[in-house]
Structure 1
Amino acid sequence: MYLKDLIIGIVFLLQSTVGSLGNFSLLSCYLINYYIEHRMKTSSLILSNLFTANFLILLSKGLLHTVQTFGIKGFINDFVCKFLLYIQRLGRNVSISSTCFLSVFQAITISPRNSFWMSLKAKVPHHIGLFTSLCWILYMVLNMIFPVYMYNKENRKNLTQKHHLKYCSIVVHDDFISSLYTTIIVLPEILFAFIIIWSSSSMVIILYVHKQSVKHIHSITVSSRTSPESRATHRILALMFTFIGFYALSSILQGCIALVYNPSWWLVNITAIISMCFPSLGPFVMNHDSPFPRLCFI
């Protein structure tokens, strides 16, 4: 094994292990909290779906790339490879849509009484469970009916199509199926990204206006602590930039891989690492809403 393979393999292993433990721990906390209180807040429900999707991404993608980087043969056959790729895409789709749901829900929650979203405050919590369930079902079906983007055993002899993974070969697809897949899967992801930017920007503006309106109250109460509006703004911006930065960069790099005839070893592996960054860092960015500290004291 070359030194570069060893280094990349260790990075994949650490990234998938730390990220999986983080997502699984927070998901377990929400489930335990639901078992104790027999109810779950809307934001907790969305985060539970998000952590589940992130865990699936890290488990499937991390396992696939760790095994191939360390050169472990005979562990992943063609069926396992297809299944892991299916889980990986399903997790990515649900992760992006859940992040969008969370951002929009938070924007609706903190919107002022005279805003357009006021009428949705009472309706959204009752329908968010249905939206998340439909999201899982929709992407399960869509990723099943587009096997063209999965790896196929029949093309193992086609070495020009075998540069993505050592033990899987990519199926050759036509322009029509590629365009259809892009329209149904990729374009909604781009739309979700723009919605996240818009809703996050709206929340920052709302928090800034509220902070200015109560500025005289903060000036009377002398305190060295940061205002709640500033802390919330920092969390919103951290989540938005983490999501947009890593997902946008991974999408650009994946486009480069698709366009380049024979992508380099570094391009393929760096793209895989960056695509796993948000699922790995997501729990640590959003852990302020976790019931973990309270459950530990219980």
Structure 2
Amino acid sequence: MNENSRLHTHSNIRNTFFSEIGIGISGNSFLLLFHIIKFFRGHRPRLTDLPIGLLSLIHLLMLLVAAVIATDIFISWRGWNDIICKFLVYLYRSLRGLSLCTTSMLSVLQAIILSPRSYCLAKFKRKSSHNISCAIIFLSVLYMSISSHLLISITATPNLTMNDFLYVSQSCSLLPLSYLMQSIYSTLLVLREVFLIGLMVLSTSYMVALLYMHRKQAQNLQGTSLSLKASAEQRATQTILMLMTFFVLMSIFDSIVSCSRTMFLDDPTSYSIHIFVMHIYATVSPFVFISTEKHIVNILRG
């Protein structure tokens, strides 16, 4: 029997994981509810409200699906068939892809918002909400098509033990792919990661440069209105910068743990670390956004 199937005996790992999932679901639910109430009350929406609300919804759904899959990892039973396995795993991977796409587009959108009127990026401010929505849809469809191989390779775990199967949960396993298919899939996945994370790095570098210029200009002119404007822009941008940095670090850590898991297929420790690391960003990000919302902070302080 694969050693990963014994994870249900590790109570500390189980409790830690479900605590992480519970905190993440609570945070994303609160953030999503805040944006829904804000919309129905007629508050003027900011350009970043749509992607932030969408990101909280994606993370909420992803964590809920992860909680369902986790019951098949940490609770000793095997009751899922091929259809349930394919649906849950494909849905989960698609939501992870949506999270990456939306995070990347949020970084680009903040860079557009921060751009002065004289810059070429400022031309996209009026249509940025529409353009970002179209970009997210396009990238999401593209990623879901890349992950479509899971509809074939994910299967219910056979009764006979086979070392070639990669453990997903007690009921579900990943069929080994041919060298050609694995190479194609890995190449497409790497291209997607490089492209989207590259957008984050470029937009982040652009925002850092603009913030530095704003600060220098404010110091030279000693203007109150400019200082206040720069301060407001700094708060919004620093939140995005912090999330982008955190996301990139977690992506790198995730890749390292994933590679170590591939090298040591029967190591339950690497698998437990992997499933914990995969959800850190989705758990932490809503609280970062909540901490920057003045209305929420004032209510909590009051």
Q: Measured at CA, do residues 67 and 165 of structure 1 come closer, stay the same or move farther in structure 2, by a change above 3 Å?
A: closer
Flag the 1:28–1:186 CA change in 2: closer, same or farther, 3 A: farther
The AA in structure 1 aligned to 2:10 is D
Counting only pairs closer than 5 Å after superposition, residues 1-298 of structure 1 correspond to structure 2 as 5-37=10-42, 40-69=45-74, 71-74=75-78, 76-148=80-152, 150-153=153-156, 155-160=158-163, 161-216=165-220, 227-228=231-232, 231-232=235-236, 234-258=238-262, 260-288=263-291, 290=293, 293=296
Distance 1:230-1:49 versus aligned 2 partners, 3 A rule: closer
Q: What is the identity, as a one-letter code, of the residue corresponding to 1:275? A: M
Q: How far is 1:143 from its partner?
A: 3.0
Shift of 1:202: 1.1
Q: CA distance change for structure 1 residues 291 and 62 in 2, over 3 Å: closer, same or farther?
A: farther
Preserved contact between residue 50 and residue 99 of structure 1 (Cα < 8 Å): yes
* Residues 98, 140 of structure 2: 8 Å contact kept: yes
The RMSD of aligned alpha carbons is: 3.2
2:55–2:99 Cα contact (<8 Å) kept: yes
Change over 3 Å in CA distance of 1:190–1:65 after alignment to 2 = farther
Look up the SS of the partner of 2:169 in the other structure.
coil
Q: CA deviation at 1:55?
A: 1.6
CA distance in 2, matches of 1:176, 1:99: 31
Q: Is the 8 A contact 2:261 2:271 kept in 1?
A: yes
Quick one: which amino acid aligns to residue 22 of structure 2?
A: T
Q: Report the CA distance between 1:23 and its aligned residue.
A: 1.0
Q: Please state how far the C-alpha of 1:31 moved relative to its aligned partner.
A: 2.0
Q: 1:289 to 1:130 in 2, by over 3 A?
A: farther
Aligned-partner residue type, residue 280 of structure 2: C
Alpha carbons of structure 1 residues 172 and 86: separation in structure 2 relative to 1, 3 Å: same
Structure 1 length as normaliser, TM-score? 0.84
The alignment partner of 1:152 has SS state of: strand
Q: Deviations over 1:182-224 (max 9, x none)?
A: 2333421222112112211210110111011111566989x9x
TM-score, scaled relative to structure 2? 0.83
The one-letter amino acid paired with 2:134 is L
Q: Deviations over 1:8-52 (max 9, x none)?
A: 100111111110111122112212222232874431111122112
Equivalent pair of 1:16/1:280 in contact (CA under 8 Å): yes
> Structure 1 CA distance, aligned partners of 2:80 and 2:294?
37
| Pair 230,115 (structure 1): closer, same or farther in 2 beyond 3 Å | closer
Long gaps (5+) in structure 1: none
Going from structure 1 to structure 2, the CA distance change for 1:4 and 1:155 (only over 3 Å counts) comes to: closer
Amino acid at match of 1:28: L
Q: What is the number of residues matched between the two proteins?
A: 291
Deviations 1:140-163 (A, max 9, x none): 444335434x42137553431254
Provide the residue aligned with 2:3 in structure 1: none
Query: Structure 2 CA distance, aligned partners of 1:82 and 1:253?
Result: 24
Distance 2:270 2:33 in 1: 35
One-letter code of the match for 1:273? F
Instruction: For 2:207 and 2:11, locate their aligned partners in 1 and report how far apart those are by CA, in whole Å.
Output: 44
Name the CA distance, whole Å, in 2 between partners of 1:78 and 1:97: 28
Call closer, same or farther: CA 1:289–1:80 in 2, change over 3 Å: farther
Q: Secondary structure at the match of 1:202?
A: helix
